[in-house]
Amino acid sequence: MGTPIMRHFAFEHLREGALRDTSAKFHALATEVDETLPDGPEKSTALRKLLEAKDAAVRAALDV
């Protein structure tokens, strides 16, 4: 993982189920963003906001 924020998109440590599935989807998108967009403040903002969205989605998946 290149960009330091990418460590927060790891999902392998989660048990199989809704939390892992939800987190894996965000990991895939974050990886695509990280690998295809040029480094800069907008990429950093995109990844930070995606991380915020992932955190909210994983919290929502706790109720599944």
pLDDT (tens digit per residue) in 1-14: 478 999 999 999 99
Q: What is the pLDDT of residue 40?
A: 96
Q: What is the pLDDT of residue 1?
A: 47
pLDDT at 36 over 50: yes
How many Å apart are CA 21 and CA 26, to the nearest integer? 9
Closest CA to 1 of 19, 40, 28: 28
Which whole number is the average pLDDT over 45-53? 98
Q: Give the predicted TM-score (pTM) of the model.
A: 0.91
